[in-house]
Amino acid sequence: MSNSEEKWDLEIIPYTGLFDINWRELWQYRDLIFLFVRRDVVATYKQTILGPLWFFIQPMLTTLMYVTIFGNMAKISTGGSPKILFYLGGITVWNYFQECLLKTSETFIANQNLFGKVYFPRMVTPISIVISSLLKFFIQFSLFLITWLYFLFQKTPGTSPNITILLFPLYIILMSGLGFSFGILISSLTTRYRDLRFLVQFGIQLLMYATPIVYPLEIASEKYRWLLLLNPITSIVEAFRYAFTSNGNFSSYNLIYSTLFMTISLFFSIIIFNRVEKTFMDKI
């Protein structure tokens, strides 16, 4: 049989255009995604004494530090909500976004040895990170939920939920989408500009202080509040707190802005990631 008549079960060819993304192939590799999810969850605290308890210890210690420094010493208002609940809510949401961003931003650098030996859709790796981070989020969210229920049954002021709690899944989608899109964009750029790796940790700390995590949006001056609202994470954090405590700033217009921001950034980040993955082994 001549070479022209040969048929292959699998043929790997480079994509030819910016929008040539094989979504069907990603679905075919779904088992690999779940293997990576298991790896990420198990490997994080493997060979540690406390193991998965660190999922609870980290937000608890951070919350206590914020209560002491920002709540008691700096006397920053929490908008009428209990200090522990206020800070724990912000930390829970922020930690999910931060983990998605930081870990996906290392996609190419951290996996270059694996990518150089075995073929699979490179998008599998950041998707698995978002899913494994989601599992950790729900573990930490359970801590927030227990704390919230305690204050709710105690009839503590500033702990009453409202109808916007039904939008909770939307808040999670927006946070994961923003973390994912920012992360793969940074990962794509670091294949050429390695300096970005050193700016990510510093930049995310600045972004946290530009987000109402340790302070409510209402204490910001009207003159500068619009700058905070340009940050798409601001409206999500405020809406999350408002859903569970009825304290905060809920705005459907701001949420629409965050949704559009996430959609557009996700669209362009995937295109750039798709373009870079074809040639990144030649650059690293």
Residue 220's contacts (CB-CB under 8 Å, 6 or more residues apart) are 212, 228
Distance CA 223, CA 143 (A): 36
Task: Count CB neighbours of 214 within 10 A.
Answer: 19
Distance CA 264, CA 269 (A): 9
Distances (CA, A) of 30 to 10, 24, 131, 200, 255: 17, 10, 12, 29, 31
pLDDT of residue 281: 54
pLDDT of residue 283: 55
Distance CA 79, CA 71 (A): 11
Terminal C-alpha separation, the chain: 40
pLDDT of residue 123: 87
The type of residue at 239 is A
Give residue 58's Cα distance to chain centre: 17
Task: Count CB neighbours of 74 within 10 A.
Answer: 11
CA dihedral of 27, 32, 35, 41, whole degrees rounded to 10? -70
CB pairs under 8 A, 24+ apart, for 172-176?
A: 172/96, 172/134, 172/137, 174/232, 174/236, 174/255, 174/258, 174/259, 174/262, 175/93, 175/96, 175/97, 175/100, 175/233, 175/236, 176/96, 176/97, 176/100, 176/130, 176/133, 176/134
What residue ranges do the domains of the chain occupy?
22-44+51-283
| Residue ranges, the chain, pLDDT below 70 | 1-22, 44-52, 195, 278-284
Distances (CA, A) of 209 to 152, 202, 205, 229: 28, 11, 7, 13
Determine phi and psi for 213, rounding to 5 degrees: -90, -45
Classify residue 167 by its DSSP letter: G
